[in-house]
Amino acid sequence: MCHLFAHQPQRDYESQTRSLRIDGHCTSIRLEMSFWDTLEEIAAKEGMTLAKFLTTLHNEVLDHHGEVNNFASLLRCSCLIYRAKANAPAVVPDYRGAAAIMDAAE
C-alpha cells in the first residue's frame, strides 16, 4: 500500500508560494503543487482564471462565515472535496423518491 504514496512524483508534494491580490489586498499562499494543479483545474472548469476563482471563493466564504480563517487549509480541503466528488458515482432520486446510484457509463 505504501507504494501508492511513496512512489508519487516529488513535484506533487513540493511547495510553491504564489502571490495574489484578493479584493485589492496583496497576500501569498503556500501550497503543494498537486493542490495548485487541482485549483487551476477547478478554475478552468468554472471558466475563470485562478486569481478570479480564488477571489470568488474567498468572498463567498467571507459572506457565509463573516471571516476567512486559514485560507490555505480551506483551499486544500476544497481540492479534496472536488477530487472526492469527481470520483463518486452520480446519485439521483428514483421515481419513488429513494436515492438510486446511476451507472456513470449510461
Instruction: Give the tens place of pLDDT for each residue, 58-84.
Output: 999 999 999 999 999 999 999 999 999
Q: Report the DSSP beta bridge partners of residue 18.
A: 29
> How many whole angstroms separate alpha carbon 54 and alpha carbon 68?
12
pLDDT tens-digit readout, 37-46: 999 999 999 9
Kindly state the percentage of the chain with pLDDT values over 70.
Answer: 83
Contact in structure between 56 and 71 (CB atoms under 8 Å)? no
> Which residue ranges form the domains of the chain, and what is each CATH number?
12-85 (1.10.3990.20)
